Structure 1
Amino acid sequence: MRRLLLVLAVIAVGTVGVVTAATAAGRGGDSTPALLARAATVAYEPAAQATGVGVRSPVSVSVTNGILEQVALTNPQGEQVEGALNADRTTWTSSEPLGYDTEYTWSGTAKGEDGVGEPLAGGFHTVVPGTVVRGVLNIGDDRTVGIAAPIEIQFNGHVEDRTAVEQALSVQTSVPVEGAWGWLPDENGGSRVHWRPKEYWPAYTKVSVAAKLYGVDYGGGKYGAADVTSDFEIGRAQIVKADARSHRMVVERDGKQVADYPASYGLASDPNRNTRSGIHVVTEKFTDKRMTSAQYGYDVMEKWAVRMSNNGEFIHANPASANAQGSSNVTHGCVNLSLENARSYYDTALYGDPVEVTGTPVQLSARDGDIWDWTLSWDQWQQLSAL
């Protein structure tokens, strides 16, 4: 009996030793026991084999129960898309736009908690535009413009989804400026949108425009061709006060009068020859400009011509009307000055300067050219926004 009890005691002690050893081994490190370690699970955004994928939104690959060891997203030419892993190496996200109508392929490895590698594979195809539409800004980098200059983006095709486009546009200024985008009627088959401040720009404001148009769905199968940007500055505050009743043209700069010229305006008795009342905007200027009219039978070359609307209105020199300048209005709608005065004004004029015409029977309107933004009240202008 004593011999049997001794054998049982030895067996019991041995069993306890085994359990204790197993428990100690389980506490020996932070690694997951092999029986509990899980395999990596990989997920893609967009899903594998997706088509019509947008080119602007980031794409990603992520893993649960593991880490991403290597990640590459390549186009058919073998070029890798830029991107980065997050801090714990569980997600890789692209950081640059993709190309239209392109097949992209994933490669790399995800390693699971079980130590087993899971290859990244598959891919997706980006959207195929019916047409790509380009937008062009009217004010280039480093230009200086007048205080009435609108920012214009002219598209070479029709924009159906104006809300989507307007959401991609931004204007940043060095001082607070209230303004809004407004959509004007299409011209030459293309849409156009202007940004106009509520009031004239503050002088010497620095302006940055960003139109993130690449990849934007314009509707009707049209997509944005490229982003466009511009950094420019507003110049001095020069305003032309052109009261046809006074037969004078006054120039104010930064709140002070700097010139007062005798002038002749459009003949009031002929509505077709009236200078239009309203806020005009200087758009271009010519040392010599040929001016013609089939209706009135003239074809002359005039000097120092500053265009203030697209309906044929200029401020320019005209020796032929010298006797009327300062005393009567006899022109075909332009503002006539002497050669000396026209040259003096020409040298100061900037794109975007306002020319405020008053005292004539006919008002400036949308029929009179490209920039009629200032013929609308602020409330009316805001109604042209798509937002």
Structure 2
Amino acid sequence: MGFERRLSLLAAAIAAAPLALAACTADQRPDGKSAGVRAAAPELALTPADRARDVPISAEVGTSVKGGRITDVRLTDEKGVQVRGEPREDASAWVPVTPLRPQRTYTAEVTATGDSGKTTTRRTTFTTTAASAKPEITSNLYFESNQTYGTAMPVTVAFDPPIPEAARADVQRRLFVRTNPPQPGTWSWVSDGSQAYYRAPDLWQPGTTISVRAALEGLPIGKDRIGDADRSATSKIGRQVSLEIDNATKQMAVLRDGKLIRKIPVSLGKPSTPTSSGKMVIMEKHQYATFDTRGDPNGGYVVDVEDAQRLTAGGEYIHGAPWSEGDQGNTNVSHGCTNVSAAAADWLMTVTQVGDLVTVKGTEVPLTEGNGWTAWNVDWDEFVKGSALPVPAGLRPAPAQAPHPGAVAGGSPAPVPSVGGR
């Protein structure tokens, strides 16, 4: 993501162009020749304010410039040790690569350069707050370093307790994602504030590098809480693989780069414990797993399985189920999982990646928002509505079309919680 990159911008020298205007627009020398227009130095304002105290350790150096651009930032502590950082993409602030330390004094020296080459330098000195005794909001970044993920992998940050709606914009401003090659996206919040997802309008391009930073340590969240940690990770996107499961045919289609490479018979959830229909993402892969559902309303069993791939937080998996091989392809007998043969499950483990898209259709219940990584279970126009910050113009949905005369508003059934199963 380049968080280790130090901000070091060089101002370009711009030669003054000859003036061909009347004396009312230029100074005159004693010999009557034009001396040229007097160029104004850029105006520059900084935050935190000079001598500010009790500044959060999540502080950034805010920069507001008129008539120029930021060309140098230097932030040091009271011992003269320099703090590394980088600018926001919109140049509105300079962000330290790690949280500041409590009860330390920092000085920021910022230089702006105008088109004429004239510069303005401003300084601000501030002191950070003492270590906070406020309770923390725990954040979990479901994106690890040095991994290869599938093309549907959303960057997911989960929060406990959930983030109140009024605080989501402040939190979202501290969630950074960079992709190489660039593939812009946006964040979107689950309605209860328990998760935020980041994705692009389309699946990631294979080979893309994604760098993430959830810079939340010490961030004031609402009136009573602070963020718990600063987390970052960088990983790559691998080959394009997707699974399509159709309840009508009881078949799973395995596609690589959009081409069918195999069909596998399946047995899905029986009517009392149906499998969810929707677009899911493989969350985990386990060679061996134990399902213990003794605390679930429709559970009460313990079973060991092999080659298990998790699809939902509620406990729906794809896994080997030798006991139901006679039903696979014709009858649903599971507790919500997708049963495949032992041989097929073993083969799938060699083909799939965490982050691959899995689409299930034709079952009795829809996938519930937030039951797993559900970023792809809505279209892009709906996804961007969940952002707590304005979405860049190039990513905004197209204007809504007026409904055709006589169109009738429809509805959808209430979501039903999924059930862990086998």
TM-score range, shorter chain: 0.5 to 0.7
Report the equivalent of 1:64: none
Distance 1:100 1:274, change over 3 A: same
Contact 2:106 2:127 in 1 (8 A): no
1:170 match: secondary structure: strand
Distance 1:362 1:186, change over 3 A: closer
Q: Percent identity?
A: 30
1:289 match: secondary structure: strand
CA deviation map 1:207-260 (0-9, x unaligned): 122334355432325444554322211111100111111122111111222221
Structure 1 CA distance for aligned equivalents of residues 336 and 242 of structure 2: 19
- 2:145 aligned to which of 116, 141, 144: 141
Distance 1:360 1:226, change over 3 A: closer
Report the equivalent of 1:181: 187
Q: Work out the number of aligned pairs and report it.
A: 299
Higher helix share: 1
Q: 1:51 Cα deviation (Å)?
A: 2.3
CA deviation map 1:6-48 (0-9, x unaligned): xxxxxxxxxxxxxxxxxxxxxxxxxxxxxxxxxxxxxx98545
Contact 2:154 2:355 in 1 (8 A): yes
Structure 2 CA distance for aligned equivalents of residues 46 and 146 of structure 1: 45
1:273 match: secondary structure: coil
- 1:219 aligned to which of 218, 222, 225: 222
Report the equivalent of 2:258: 255
Structure 2 CA distance for aligned equivalents of residues 140 and 83 of structure 1: 25
CA deviation map 1:326-357 (0-9, x unaligned): 22222222111111111111222211111111
Structure 1 CA distance for aligned equivalents of residues 150 and 353 of structure 2: 6
CA deviation map 1:171-210 (0-9, x unaligned): 22223434220122568xxx43211222322222221223
Contact 1:173 1:207 in 2 (8 A): yes
Structure 2 CA distance for aligned equivalents of residues 94 and 343 of structure 1: 46
Runs of 4+ in 1 over 6 A off after TM superposition: 93-98
Answer with 1 or 2: which has the greater Rg. 1
Distance 1:296 1:243, change over 3 A: same
Distance 1:313 1:223, change over 3 A: closer
CA deviation map 1:104-124 (0-9, x unaligned): 399xxxxxxxxxxxxxxxx86
Contact 2:273 2:336 in 1 (8 A): yes
Amino acid in the other structure paired with 2:322 = P
Residue 240 (1) aligns with residue 243 (2) = yes
Structure 1 CA distance for aligned equivalents of residues 312 and 282 of structure 2: 7
Q: 1:97 Cα deviation (Å)?
A: 7.1
Contact 1:58 1:94 in 2 (8 A): yes
Q: Which runs of 5+ in 1 are unaligned?
A: 1-43, 60-71, 85-92, 107-122
Report the equivalent of 2:201: 198
Structure 2 CA distance for aligned equivalents of residues 309 and 223 of structure 1: 29
Contact 2:311 2:372 in 1 (8 A): no
**How is 1:354-365 mapped onto 2 (pairs within 5 angstroms)?**
354-365=357-368
Report the equivalent of 1:282: 282
**How is 1:272-351 mapped onto 2 (pairs within 5 angstroms)?**
272-294=272-294, 295=298, 297-351=300-354
Distance 1:53 1:290, change over 3 A: closer
Q: 1:292 Cα deviation (Å)?
A: 4.0
- 1:53 aligned to which of 52, 55, 73: 55
Residue 377 (1) aligns with residue 379 (2) = yes
Coordinate RMSD, CA, aligned: 3.4
Structure 2 CA distance for aligned equivalents of residues 245 and 104 of structure 1: 66
1:250 match: secondary structure: strand
CA deviation map 1:74-119 (0-9, x unaligned): 65xxx434279xxxxxxxx99887745415399xxxxxxxxxxxxx
Structure 1 CA distance for aligned equivalents of residues 245 and 209 of structure 2: 28
Structure 2 CA distance for aligned equivalents of residues 265 and 52 of structure 1: 57
Structure 2 CA distance for aligned equivalents of residues 181 and 364 of structure 1: 20
Contact 1:58 1:96 in 2 (8 A): no
Residue 165 (1) aligns with residue 167 (2) = no
CA deviation map 1:284-316 (0-9, x unaligned): 122222234453554322221111112221111
1:381 match: secondary structure: helix
Contact 1:292 1:298 in 2 (8 A): yes
Structure 2 CA distance for aligned equivalents of residues 320 and 377 of structure 1: 37
Distance 1:279 1:52, change over 3 A: same
Structure 1 CA distance for aligned equivalents of residues 157 and 304 of structure 2: 32
1:300 match: secondary structure: strand
1:347 match: secondary structure: helix
Contact 1:57 1:97 in 2 (8 A): no
Distance 1:336 1:156, change over 3 A: closer
Structure 2 CA distance for aligned equivalents of residues 240 and 94 of structure 1: 40
Structure 1 CA distance for aligned equivalents of residues 383 and 102 of structure 2: 38
Structure 1 CA distance for aligned equivalents of residues 208 and 228 of structure 2: 30
Report the equivalent of 2:105: 104
Report the equivalent of 1:109: none
Structure 2 CA distance for aligned equivalents of residues 264 and 308 of structure 1: 16
Amino acid in the other structure paired with 1:384 = G
Report the equivalent of 1:66: none
Segment of structure 1 superposing worse, 160-169 or 344-353? 160-169
Structure 2 CA distance for aligned equivalents of residues 105 and 237 of structure 1: 47
Report the equivalent of 2:155: 151
Contact 2:280 2:372 in 1 (8 A): no
What is the TM-score normalised by the length of structure 2? 0.62
